[in-house]
Amino acid sequence: MIVFGWLNDQLLKMEWLYNAVLWLVESVFGLSMDGRVGGSLHFFIYDVIKIFILLSVLIFVISYIQSFFPPERTRRILGRYNGVSANILGALLGTITPFCSCSSIPLFIGFTSAGLPIGVTFSFLISSPLVDLASIILLASIFNWKIAIAYVVVGLVLAVLGGTVISKANMEKYVEPFVYGNVLTEAEQDELTVKDRIVIARGQVGEIIHRVWLYILIGVGIGAAIHNWIPEEFISAILGQDNWYSVLVATIIGVPMYADIFGTLPIAEALVLKGVGLGTALSFMMGVTALSLPSMIMLKKVVKTKLLALFFSVVTIGIIIIGYTFNAIGYLFV
Amino acid sequence: MDIKVLGPGCKNCVTLEANTKAAIDTLGLEADFEKVTDYAQIAKYGIMSTPGLVIDGKVVSFGKVLKTDAIIELIKRSEAK
């Protein structure tokens, strides 16, 4: 346990980096950590470097694992299951299948054409942006393992229940007709070698960092501002534990926003440090990552408004329930 | 020869389109080139990861941003058939 604790502190929480940045801020810049400028500068430098290091390593490892689970394979696996177990499997596979919002439509069409129930596809679509391996490790780094695991569990439960509700609502008729009855290409692609997988994984690191770096800088910037510049009274007046509507406000702010989970985490971190409830911070994070205007516009091309509205409502209500639950039992996790 | 790039317009699809055009130029091919961006059209080819490359109606690659060399290789393989 001592070894694990040390590894956890140095590799995951990066205490060495915390101390190095502390030295930089105090001795090189001559700023006090208690001052606003010093404190926010430390938050910014430490978080940016930590997130970029963790992200690069994680994306590499995860992309390597993901190269074994292309969507075609996921579709074959899912086709063998029925009922709730298919939803559970869909949610689980959503965490490891490579996926970016720009491929969500071909994926939706491919799954549906193969005869998968749309509820299963939606379980997959909900869990995919919400829970992935990188976000689990980052949550463990910024908060702790208990919170990371709790986040994953509620994220998966939301995906399974959301998909099940959509299954039960008989929404098949609200899918655009062209989605059905397409051919399935099981086109012969060469089996990947270890070298191919490494090349893919390295390519993913470059591609994802290129896509999210700005979100991370903005996210950490907002986090640093919340951490040192916005008065605590102001934040707790809106998002504080005592306000019954704090979760609602966090969800309403989070849903239309579009950012990667990696950019959202530092904001959640700063909010929790300022005394905002864990549930409120999680609602905000889930709102930002699971639902966004661009993904809604894309989904609108393949499903009719009624199904889109059901998807949107189910996920939003789920996020709000998760927020209130965590605020009620949050003391178990800190 | 008929060559199509399937992709709704994300960055990867644009890169594949450019590489494919470069491959056609390098080979000096007389080819009909088309970029397919409509989801209903893309769906007909049955691919789940974009971008896709179609030569003479057959999907030869999907979910990969191929380099120009690899595309030349695929075009030659299709010609040989």
ipTM of predicted complex: 0.74
Question: What is the pLDDT at residue A123?
Answer: 92
Distance CA A229, CA A208 (A): 31
> Could you say which of A71, A178, A183 has the minimum Cβ distance to residue B48?
A71
Number of domains in chain B: 1
Distance CA A141, CA A311 (A): 31
A273-307 pLDDT, tens digit per residue, is 888 888 999 899 888 888 877 778 888 888 899 99
b/e map B21-39, b = 16+ CB within 10 Å: bebbeeeeeebeeebbeeb
Question: Searching chain A, which residue's CA lies closest to the CA of residue B40?
Answer: A178
Residue pair B36/A91 in contact (Cβ under 8 Å)? The answer is no
> What does pLDDT average to over chain B?
85
Q: Does A179 touch chain B (CB under 8 A)?
A: yes
Q: Are strands B52-55 and B2-6 parallel, antiparallel or unpaired?
A: antiparallel
Range of the domain at B54: 2-80
**In Å, how far from its chain's centre is CA A178?**
31
pLDDT band at residue A136 under the 50/70/90 scheme: confident
A23-76 pLDDT, tens digit per residue, is 988 888 888 888 888 888 999 999 899 888 988 888 888 888 888 887 778 888
How many inter-chain contacts (A to B, CB under 8 Å) are there? Answer: 65
B6: tokens are 């399937």
pLDDT band at residue A82 under the 50/70/90 scheme: confident
Contact A102 B8 (CB under 8 A): yes
Question: What is the pLDDT at residue A309?
Answer: 93
Question: Searching chain B, which residue's CA lies closest to the CA of residue A189?
Answer: B61
> Could you say which of A72, A98, A109 has the minimum Cβ distance to residue B43?
A109
Task: Look at residues A290, A273, A277, A223 and name the one whose alpha carbon lies nearest to residue A246.
Answer: A277
A312: tokens are 């949107």
What is the CATH number for B76?
Answer: 3.40.30.10
Question: What is the pLDDT at residue B31?
Answer: 83
- DSSP assignment letter at A303: B
Contact A105 B8 (CB under 8 A): yes
Residue pair A261/A289 in contact (Cβ under 8 Å)? The answer is yes
Domain range list for chain A: 59-172+206-332
What integer is the mean pLDDT of A83-101? 79
pLDDT band at residue A158 under the 50/70/90 scheme: very high
Question: Searching chain B, which residue's CA lies closest to the CA of residue A182?
Answer: B44
User: Which stretch of A92-101, A223-232, B55-64 has the lowest confidence by average pLDDT?
Assistant: A92-101
Distance CA A169, CA A212 (A): 36
Question: What is the pLDDT at residue A320?
Answer: 93
pLDDT band at residue A165 under the 50/70/90 scheme: very high
Question: What is the pLDDT at residue A263?
Answer: 82
Phi and psi, residue B67, nearest 5°: -75, 160
Side chain identity at residue A198, one-letter code: I
Please give the order of strands across the beta sheet that includes B52-55: B32-36, B2-6, B52-55, B58-62
Helix then strand then coil, in percent of chain A rounded to 5, is 75, 0, 25
Long-range contacts of B64-69 (CB under 8 A, 24+ apart): B65/B12, B65/B15, B65/B16, B65/B19, B66/B16, B66/B19, B66/B20, B67/B19, B68/B19, B68/B22, B68/B23, B68/B26
Per-residue pLDDT at A187 exceeds 60: no
Question: What is the pLDDT at residue A161?
Answer: 94
Contacts (Cβ under 8 Å, ≥6 apart) of A327: A241, A246, A247, A277, A278, A279, A280
> What does pLDDT average to over chain A?
84
Distance CA A35, CA B36 (A): 56
Task: Look at residues A273, A274, A271 and name the one whose alpha carbon lies nearest to residue A254.
Answer: A271
What integer is the mean pLDDT of B12-26? 89
**Maximum distance among all alpha carbons in chain B?**
32
